[in-house]
Amino acid sequence: MKLALIGFGQAGGKVVDEFLAYERTIDGSFVESAIAVNSATADLQGLEQIPTENRVLIGQTRVKGHGVGADNELGATVTEEDIDEIQGAVDCVPVHEIDAFLVVAGMGGGTGSGGAPVLAKHLKRIYSEPVYGLGILPATDEGGIYTLNAARSFQTFVHEVDNLLVFDNDAWRQTGESVRGGYGQINREIAERFGLLFAAGEVTEGDHVAESVVDSSEIINTLSGGGISTVGYARETVENPTDGLLSKFRDGHSTDELSATNRMTSLIRKAALGRLTLPCDISSAERGLAVATGPPAYLNRKGVERGRKWLEEETGSMEIRGGDYPLVGEREVGSIVLLSGVTSVPRIETLQQVAIDAKHRTADVQAQSHEQFSSLMDTGGEIDALF
């Protein structure tokens, strides 16, 4: 499926940059246009893939290119004020060619956290194409302000998009490693999982177009009920990507077919039960999509069907779709599972609770320091101010 990607803030820009790099490695084409929006000049300059003319600096009159700090209310304000600048860049997107917009942002900061929901709302008012969000949650060790920002942004963003795809930095940092040091690897994971999913709906002519190939409408329909979504991915390397299995099929070795079926079914299970972009209870999903990826000879139809049925049972949903994304010459066979409309997400509940605590603590500290300042300055009326 073809997307107009808009990276908002530092994390958003870097992840969109990574999507562009990833797209080249799979020889796919899911990015129609890529735009970066930021209030910090340095962050825009640090991008590598997004064309310079598609980088939009906002909030110049207020913050002079220095960013909004972690103030997401200011991020929202400068976005509202400079929405025409952003629209100017979006005007260059051939909207008739795209299937959807995807607004990408880190939820814990300022510019993306505050600005992404404002932009999503604006895009939805203007265009009939779906507007999806890709929201990145901060790691728990980033501190109260980031958690509070993320909780507020999440609450807003989810209502302004047609579906909010979520990636949780906390679930993805390596043990013992600070998440800030490890963004390179994390961003590649994000680009790979979501990139493969979106590329799957964009199999072009000349590729192995079979009736079981996933179409962009299946991704759109899976996302269409709104709410929040998570993605799982599992893969394994195969020895002979070109025709190894096919030749065995021709010889009629049913055991090989059986092992290909089993492999695909268990890849779908592994994808759904392994590490999701947003960990959740998969039984709470409303809709789902299982995509088999890899060399055409390994995309076992029966395996996908069995995996799809298993997913139906696990989620209790009747809306589970399945299909293929053939990748000729790849050495890996895999499965991507998109679970949409998930509601049992302990991570979000914790985030909200920590944010509420942080808000109360901040209010207490402010009240206390007000009191202490008043008592510090209280001279019992002995010293008069000048004016």
The one segment of 86-94, 136-144, 239-247, 310-318 that binds ligand GDP by CB under 6 A: 136-144
CA distances from 109 to 85, 112, 143, 152, 166 (A): 21, 7, 11, 11, 16
Binding residue for ligand GDP (CB under 6 A) from 3, 5, 6, 14? 14
The one segment of 6-14, 264-272, 279-287, 302-310 that binds ligand GDP by CB under 6 A: 6-14
CA distances from 373 to 280, 338, 363, 370 (A): 46, 53, 15, 5
186 with 169: CB under 8 angstroms? yes
Amino acid at 77: T
Q: 12 among the known binding-site residues?
A: yes
Q: What's the alpha-carbon Rg for the chain, to the nearest Å?
A: 24
Of residues 109 and 341, the one with the C-beta less far from ligand GDP: 109
Residue 31 belongs to what H/E stretch?
Answer: strand 31-38
User: What is the spatial distance between Cα 93 and Cα 127, in angstroms, rounded to a whole number?
Assistant: 12
Of residues 112 and 307, the one with the C-beta less far from ligand GDP: 112
Q: 59 among the known binding-site residues?
A: no
Amino acid at 261: T
Amino acid at 181: G
Of residues 58 and 260, the one with the C-beta less far from ligand GDP: 58
Of residues 29 and 140, the one with the C-beta less far from ligand GDP: 140
Residue 117 found at the interface with ligand GDP (CB under 6 A): no
Q: Which of residues 140-169 bind ligand GDP (CB under 6 A)?
A: 142, 146, 169
Residue 373 belongs to what H/E stretch?
Answer: helix 346-377
Residue 110 found at the interface with ligand GDP (CB under 6 A): yes
Query: Least separation, in Å, of the C-beta of 9 and ligand GDP?
Result: 2
Binding residue for ligand GDP (CB under 6 A) from 7, 117, 135, 138? 138
The one segment of 3-11, 286-294, 344-352, 366-374 that binds ligand GDP by CB under 6 A: 3-11
Helix, strand, coil share (%) of the chain residues, nearest 5: 50, 20, 30
The one segment of 180-188, 217-225, 234-242, 378-386 that binds ligand GDP by CB under 6 A: 180-188
Of residues 9 and 341, the one with the C-beta less far from ligand GDP: 9
Of residues 29 and 41, the one with the C-beta less far from ligand GDP: 41
User: What is the spatial distance between Cα 120 and Cα 23, in angstroms, rounded to a whole number?
Assistant: 24
User: What is the spatial distance between Cα 67 and Cα 181, in angstroms, rounded to a whole number?
Assistant: 21
Query: Least separation, in Å, of the C-beta of 160 and ligand GDP?
Result: 16
Q: In what order do the strands lie in the sheet containing 287-294?
A: 55-57, 31-38, 3-8, 100-106, 131-137, 163-168, 228-237, 332-340, 287-294, 320-326
Q: 195 among the known binding-site residues?
A: no
Of residues 9 and 322, the one with the C-beta less far from ligand GDP: 9
219 with 237: CB under 8 angstroms? no
Binding residue for ligand GDP (CB under 6 A) from 56, 158, 186, 299? 186
- Quick one: DSSP state of residue 286? S
Q: Which of residues 90-109 bind ligand GDP (CB under 6 A)?
A: 106, 108-109
Q: Residue 45 phi/psi, 5° resolution?
A: -70, -30
| Residue 68, helix vs strand vs coil | coil
Q: Which residue numbers belong to the known binding site for GTP?
A: 10-14, 110-112, 142, 169, 187
List contacts with ligand GDP (CB under 6 A).
Answer: 9-11, 14-15, 106, 108-113, 136, 138, 142, 146, 169, 183, 186-187
Residues in binding site: 10-14, 110-112, 142, 169, 187
